[in-house]
């Protein structure tokens, strides 16, 4: 149960980061990717201990990190 709760905590942390990204002026592709990641992290079906244990956390974390890194352009100073 402890392992499943750890995964759930990390899922919620990633969802918080993605929610913050919603406030940026994202283009259509970025909004689409954001929605896909959010749906993957918060599916319609409820989380169960078994589903949390099977969740591909490392791969999903990498995808979220790559997406967020790609949003840097929204924070760079423009002349």
Encode the chain (79 residues) as per-residue pLDDT tens digits. Answer: 889 999 999 999 999 999 999 999 999 999 999 999 999 999 999 999 999 999 999 999 999 999 999 999 898 766 5
Helices (H), the chain: 2-21, 28-41, 49-54, 57-69
User: Residue 75: what pLDDT?
Assistant: 85
CA distance 75 to 12: 24
State the chain's maximal CA–CA distance in angstroms.
Answer: 52
């Amino acid at each position: 149960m402890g392992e499943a709760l750890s995964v759930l905590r990390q899922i919620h942390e990633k969802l918080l980061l993605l929610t913050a990204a919603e406030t940026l002026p994202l283009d259509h592709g970025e909004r689409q990717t954001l929605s896909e990641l959010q749906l993957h992290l918060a599916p319609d079906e409820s989380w169960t201990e078994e589903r949390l244990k099977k969740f591909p956390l490392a791969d999903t974390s990498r995808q979220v990190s790559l997406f967020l890194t790609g949003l840097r352009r929204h924070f760079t100073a423009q002349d």
